[in-house]
Amino acid sequence: MSVLNCFVKLFCKLLDIIAFVYGNLRFPSRKNQLPAVENNVLLMSAVEIAQKIKERKLKAVDVVKAYLKRIEQVNPIINAVIKSREEAIREAEQIDEKLEHDWESVGHLPLLGVPFTAKDTVSVEGMPLCAGLVSRKEEVASEDASVVTNLRRAGAIPIAITNVPELTRCLDASNCAFGRTNNPYDLSLTCGGSSGGEGAILSSAGSIIGVGTDIGGSIRLPAYFCGVFGHKITSGVVSNNGIIPTIEAEIAPMFTAGPMSRYASDLKLMLKAMAGDQIERLPKIDSAVDLSKLRIFYMLESGSPWSSPVPVQNKEAILKVVSHFEQTYKVKCTKVDVKKVSDALSMWTAAMTKETPMSVFMANNQGEVNLFLEVIRKLFGRSSHTIAAIAWAIDQKIYSLFPNQVESKLREIKQLKQELNELLGNDGIFLYPCFPDINVKHDTSILFWRNIGYTTVFNITNLPVTQCPLGLNKNGLPLGVQVAANELNDHITLAVAQEIEKVFGGWIPPFPIKRD
């Protein structure tokens, strides 16, 4: 190991220690805070709910009311929802009326009567569209985003908008407009970002399926931290119309909306609904997957000196997945060392210099925020922006001053993508940690930003990837793994996710259950 790498590791160890000491002193653990679930409807999958509504065994209005009531129960504790939709009750009543008098008009819809939530960057007509910006706090969407339109056409009903970090650029769903969202398993911990409100409300049984977006791990990180499933789709399959901030065409392939859910079985159904007619871009989405014919590759750490160590329990959980496929399906599982993944964060940062400057987004596209003055304001408590947003804007400015370095990293992205494409082919999957550790206290996430290379590697290479829960660690916090495949092979990662759920239990409720 080089002297420089040794220095970097020591520096990062110091950051980890600072985060541990400050976090534990400032935010003592607060577990087991959520009220019990007593309504069985809140524990059903979207597939089951839709089927029971079609069969008239459940009323859509009762399902929607159950979820709105659950939001009222848990939101004062986790602060995941910024606004609920009372209109959803009337929309559910209309579905019940049609089922009674004109079943054929709606009975074929795959998500009939299923409630869903969407993050506060996805337009839902008449609902907040703020992206966590104070200057947009009163903004409401004038129309639905394309993904919302498609979900409605599939019979789903939007019931709430969920919290995000300011302009989605943070590991923690915290902003100066709506406050901070807590992790359902331990209120002292981050819920992840940027779809953090989605992850938290799903895990708390306040929603059954949710719309997230992902440009650097924003679906998978909160899915990991909150113990649920999240899927980053092959880009170009789901429309980005009606989602803010607007993504520049040059980096659009790194960004996609995608499904989040408590149950793996709901991911494909939701993906197909979100895509609408564009699902034809995934011609193999309904193809059967023979798990015994897969080739499995895995890594347990990124190899980057900047990253925190992956805890032994996290590695052991991934190795259990490897062992399961080896023993049950006689699949060849190969531990690999793809060197370039260690530099995924700097590659992603270089690509993100092609984005509209964060300082422009912070000004709500009305000019540009003076970052020097904003730092001064923040020091005196006068800024309406978060430290994370300011820091990202400064980092982006600094990185853009080195165009040769940016171009070099962009070339490396192409090399890494080619290497992974050749490795995986059309029958390979790649198992990889999502993040070194879930134990990230509030107000410390900026110190752990260096670890998001674990997720950004799949954005820069445009690989579909599913984040899967793998039970809880000894402290009762979620474990997980990312399952990636080559472009257009989303069906493979989704099939593997269902197998992992079946064997390892999937989502484990962070609250007691009292059955009816």
Q: Of these residues, 123, 207, 218, 346, which one is catalytic?
A: 218
C-alpha–C-alpha distance, residues 162 and 192, integer Å? 13
Tell me the H-state helices in 227-311.
265-275
Number of domains in the chain: 1
How much is the pLDDT for 403?
A: 94
For residue 515, what pLDDT band results from cuts at 50, 70 and 90? confident
What is the Cα–Cα distance from 216 to 194, expressed in whole angstroms? 9
For tokens 């960057």, name the residue: 121
Please, what is the average pLDDT of the chain?
97
Q: Which of 119, 232, 409, 441 is catalytic?
A: 119
pLDDT tens, position by position, 360-413: 999 999 999 999 999 999 999 999 999 999 999 999 999 999 999 999 999 999
- The torsion angles phi and psi of 195, rounded to 5 degrees, stand at -85, 45
Using alpha carbons only, give the angle 236, 269, 207 rounded to the nearest 5 degrees.
105
Q: Does 511 map to a domain? A: no
194 is an active site residue = yes
Q: Give domain status of residue 110, yes or no.
A: yes
Q: What range does the domain containing 394 cover? A: 3-281+289-504
| pLDDT at position 71 | 98
Catalytic residue of the set 123, 174, 194, 308:
194
Establish if 113 belongs to a structural domain.
yes
- Whole-angstrom Cα distance, residue 41 to residue 121? 28
Q: What percent of the chain has pLDDT over 70?
A: 100
- Residue 337 φ/ψ, nearest 5 degrees: -135, 85
Best CA proximity match to 446, nearest among 101, 161, 165: 165
Domain-embedded: residue 516: no
In which residue are the tokens 């819920």 written?
Answer: 191
Closest CA to 413 of 353, 356, 348: 348
Share of the chain above pLDDT 90, in %: 98
Domain contains 172: yes
Structure-block tokens of residue 346: 């700097």
DSSP symbols for 163-184: ---GGG-SSS-EETTTEEPEET
Q: Tens of pLDDT along 214-261?
A: 999 999 999 999 999 999 999 999 999 999 999 999 999 999 999 999
- Whether 512 is in a domain gets the answer no
Indicate if the pLDDT at residue 2 is higher than 70: yes
Contact status, residue 495 vs residue 291, Cβ threshold 8 Å? yes
pLDDT reading at 4 higher than 90: no
CATH number for the domain spanning 130: value is 3.90.1300.10
Annotated active-site residue 218? The verdict is yes
- At 318-334, the pLDDT tens digits run 999 999 999 999 999 99
462-482 residue pLDDT tens: 999 999 999 999 999 999 999
Query: Interior CA angle at 440 toward 431 and 9, to 5°?
Result: 70
pTM over 0.85: yes
Q: Is residue 514 part of a domain?
A: no
Residue 219 region by backbone torsions, left for phi larger than 0, else alpha for psi between -120 and 50, else beta = alpha
Contact 214, 234 (CB under 8 A): no
Q: Are strands 179-180 and 295-298 parallel, antiparallel or unpaired?
A: unpaired
The string of DSSP codes covering 347-367 is HHHHHHTTSPPHHHHHTTTSS
Query: Is position 101 within any domain?
Result: yes
Tokens 């940016």 map to which residue? 406
